[in-house]
Structures are given as structure tokens and as C-alpha cells.
Amino acid sequence: MMLGLIGAPNKGKSTIFSAMTLLSAEIADYPFTTINPNIGVAYATSKCPEKELGVKCNPRNSLCVDGTRRIPVNVVDVAGLIPGAHLGKGMGTQFLNDLINADILIQVVDISGETDAYGKSGKGFSQAEDIRMVEEELSNWLSAIIEKNMASLSREKDGIGALMKLLSGFGPAEDQLRESAEENGITATNIFWNHESAYRFSRSFLARNKPVVIAANKFDKAEKGALGRLTDQLSGYPVIACSGAIELALRKAEKAGSIAYFPGSSNFTTKENMNEDQQRALSYMAAYLKNNGSTGIQELLNAAVFNTSRQIVVYPVENENKYTDGSGKILPDAILLKEGSTALDLAGRIHTEIAAKMLYAIDARNKMRIGKDYVLKDGDVIKIVSAAK
């Protein structure tokens, strides 16, 4: 799956991207640092079944650290959006197009209120206004695509089918399109919408197709009560307080061997002598972790993947007794699937032929046979039995 980092300029998107991925995205304190989209891999975390099953896993598509499975997800960081971006202002619409493949959007705001919608420094700026601005830019961008193609859409009796073709890059589900039209009381047959209808549809569709998690970044610089005020102003958005700068500093120190730190932890330990400046910086970060439980970056990733996107983790195996694949690797793969997915859906993720010739599945925990329509649970260990070779 793909997470898209969005927001106005100079809110800390590239810092959060680097903290998540440890790639060398350019970081600077000025607008439009990101000229080309940065794409990297971050890791959502989930409890691995290894300890429960009394085995030691051999991950192949993921990592496992002391019983915590780290599952890779793609992350794209695009240039900051400013008012009028859909009209070509700032970096224009090319960066809006970079978001088409994202499943979830993480909008980064400056909870300290020290940057405006254009990325300029100051005091007392509204994060809620930034959020509404980005929502409007995305909705205007999509409605412009629809309006540009209104003539061809209007010639199709099956409006939903026509929208499916036009918006195929979004990977839309039919129900997302139909519900978005019905919610706004506009017809989905013989579509001929005015600007207002196209905009209202676009707003509803994006809320379904690209749900948003708010990253309240720079929380270490925020005034007391800032998070509560922002949460009160928003409706329907999950908000996660975080400090990308502290997470990035900890990840770099850990990579350099100076400290022992695991993303999402509430503490770290030093592994070498530090100079006075380093000790002061580490003390500041240790105090932040103690007061807040973590930097919030791992919680942000997990909230996007498991809460907003409603993914579960399933472990396919070929030997239900030893929990291994064909080469003897124990619990080799951690597969992300949408909540409500079935055993047949899992088979399809393994191989289309295995799914086409699937006979049944086995719950490796209790060794019981289950059907194709068995609804998977988070943490399931499943063997797929298929006539496919």
C-alpha cells in the first residue's frame, strides 16, 4: 500500500518522510524544498505470532524485532500545496497527480502555529485553515478533471461505469462512486453536472478513496492546549501529535551506533560517550519521550495503516504444523489485507492460479478446515489448499 504525505509548505513533511524511511530527502527550512516526489519504504508494526506459537520466525517480506513484526509500506512525499495549486500556483498540479496512487493521505500541519499556508514563518497561524485549504485544493483538482471530461461523460448512460474509466488511476470502488453521488443528491446516470455538483462529488469521493490522517507535527514546540484546540476544530479526522525532528535525530543516532532505539519506544539508551552538546540534545529528546510516550511517528504510521485504512496482518504458510513455507522458513510473510477479507482473497494475493483452483484453507492455530469465504482475523496463520501446482 501507499501512504501520501501532503500539506502546505514548510510543515515538516520531508523531515517526517526521512524519519519514517531514513532516506536522504532534502530537508531545509524554506518552502518547496521538495521539487521531485520522494518515494521510500516505512514500516508499520504489529505483534508477530512467533512467541504465541513457540517458534522463531524467519521473515522474508518484512522484519521482526523481539516479537514485533515490521511490515513495509510505501510512502510518497510531495511538494507543499498552496492556495491556488489546482490553478497552477506554486508547484501546480503535477504534484497533485503524484498522489493518485496513494491509498491513505497523511496531512502534516505545524501544531506550533509558526508557519502560514504559504510556508512563511510567523506566529499564531491556524492549522485548521491549512487542513481546509488542502481539502479544497484536492477537491478542486479532481472536479476540474471531471468537468474537463463532462462532454464525454454525458454521452454515457452508465455514469458510474464512465467514472470508473475516467478515474481508473484512483483505483475507485464502484460503491465509492455511487455513494458519493447519492450523498450529494446528484444523478449517476447520464451525468451532466455543473461546477458545484462536480465539486461536491469530488469532495465526497476523495473522503472515501483517500482518507486523511492529520500529523500534528512540531508538537515539541507547541503551546499547551494547542492539540486540544485543533482536535475540537476538526470533525472526522484522526489527529496524531508527533515530532518528526526528534524521531529523525533518534533514528540517525541509532543508525550511527550512538544509542539503542526502536521506533515507537518511550526511551532509548546511550551506547557511547557524548560531548556536552550531544548530552543536552539527548536529554531534551529523552524528556519529550517521557512526557509523550513516543515521538508519535510510529503511531502515525500505524494509525494510517490499521485504523484509517483498516488493514489486518495475515501469515500464509504451507505447513500448518510447523508454520513454514515450502523452503522451511517459519512465518515468512506478513500480508496486509483489508478488514473483511476472506481466505480466497488471501489466496489471490499469493497467486491468481492458487486462488482460481483453491479448494479450502486451514487455520494453522487449531488445524481446523475453513472455507473460501472464511473472514480473516488480524494475526491469522493460514494454509491455502489448492489444486494448483
DSSP 239-285: EEE--HHHHHHHHHHHHTTSEE--TT-S--EE-S---HHHHHHHHHH
Helix (H) or strand (E) holding 180: helix 174-183
As a whole number of angstroms, the distance between CA 330 and CA 184 comes to 50
As a whole number of angstroms, the distance between CA 33 and CA 8 comes to 12
* pLDDT per position as a tens digit, 86-104: 665 555 556 566 788 889 9
Mean of pLDDT values over 74-93 = 68
Phi and psi at 278, nearest 5°, equal: -65, -40
**Given a cut of 60, is residue 27 above it in pLDDT?**
no
Distances (CA, A) of 357 to 36, 343, 354, 372: 44, 13, 5, 11
As a whole number of angstroms, the distance between CA 193 and CA 116 comes to 34
**Given a cut of 90, is residue 385 above it in pLDDT?**
yes
**Tell me, what's the pLDDT at 124?**
63
pLDDT > 90: percent of the chain: 69
Cβ contacts of 125 within 8 Å, gap of 6 or more: 110, 113, 114, 115, 116, 117
Residue 125 pLDDT grade (very low, low, confident, very high; cuts 50, 70, 90): low
Cβ contacts of 256 within 8 Å, gap of 6 or more: none
**Tell me, what's the pLDDT at 32?**
43
**Tell me, what's the pLDDT at 326?**
93
All domains of the chain, ordered by start, with CATH? 2-37+78-233 (1.10.8.470), 312-386 (3.10.20.30)
Mean of pLDDT values over 348-366 = 96
Highest mean pLDDT among 71-75, 108-112, 226-230, 364-368: 364-368
The neighbouring-strand residues paired with 212 are 105
Phi and psi at 111, nearest 5°, equal: -70, -15
